[in-house]
């Protein structure tokens, strides 16, 4: 989609190193990391927010969680734990309107979030 930052990254229009990619999704480091490991897991399909998901999309979300498991293991996070976060719209703190999942790890994280 035109004017979508993550669609531009997926299209290769920005110089972003992908740490993982397959036919359904990509993953890359967050430009403003909030933890020693901070990856963004992003479907290639432009879905603006969680509330825009349709029935056909739920297998894609499962696919992204499978990649989160794999990437967390590869990054050495599986033993100590980590966090997967998806912010939704303004109150959730979403700033990029293309659904994505933050994979954060490498430090202890407080709960509740701010």
Asked if residue 95 binds ligand AMP (CB under 6 A), the reply is: yes
Residue carrying the six token digits 């740490």? 19
Cite the beta strand spans of 1-114 per DSSP E: 18-21, 25-29, 37-43, 82-85, 101-105
Beta carbons within 10 angstroms of residue 94's beta carbon: 17
The single residue among 31, 54, 110, 114 that binds ligand AMP, judged by CB under 6 A, is: 31
The rounded distance, in Å, linking the Cα atoms of 57 and 41 is: 15
- Residue from 4, 84, 88, 96 in contact with Zn ion (CB under 5 A): 4
* Cα distance between residue 51 and residue 27, in whole Å: 22
98 is catalytic: no
Instruction: State which residue, 59 or 95, has the beta carbon closest to ligand AMP.
Output: 95
- Is the Cβ–Cβ distance between 43 and 21 less than 8 Å? no
Q: Which of 64, 87, 99, 103 binds ligand AMP (CB under 6 A)?
A: 87
Given the complex with ligand AMP, which of 1 and 14 has the nearer CB atom?
14
Which residues on adjacent β-strands are paired with residue 27? 20, 41
Report the partner that residue 99 touches, choosing among ligand AMP, Zn ion, none (CB closer than 5 to 8 A by kind). Answer: none
- The yes or no reply on residue 83 touching Zn ion (CB under 5 A) is no
Catalytic residues: 100
Which positions touch Zn ion (CB under 5 A)? 1, 4, 6-7, 46, 98
């Amino acid at each position: 989609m035109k004017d979508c930052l993550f669609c531009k990254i997926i299209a290769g229009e920005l110089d972003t190193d992908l740490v993982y990619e397959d036919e359904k999704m990509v993953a890359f480091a967050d430009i403003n990391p909030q933890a020693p490991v901070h990856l963004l897991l992003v479907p290639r399909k432009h879905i603006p927010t969680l509330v825009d998901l349709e029935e056909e999309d739920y297998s894609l979300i499962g696919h992204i969680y499978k990649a989160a498991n794999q990437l967390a293991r590869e990054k050495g996070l599986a033993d100590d734990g980590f966090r997967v976060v998806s912010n939704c719209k303004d109150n959730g703190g979403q700033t990029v309107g293309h659904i994505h999942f933050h994979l954060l790890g490498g430090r202890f994280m407080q709960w509740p979030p701010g």
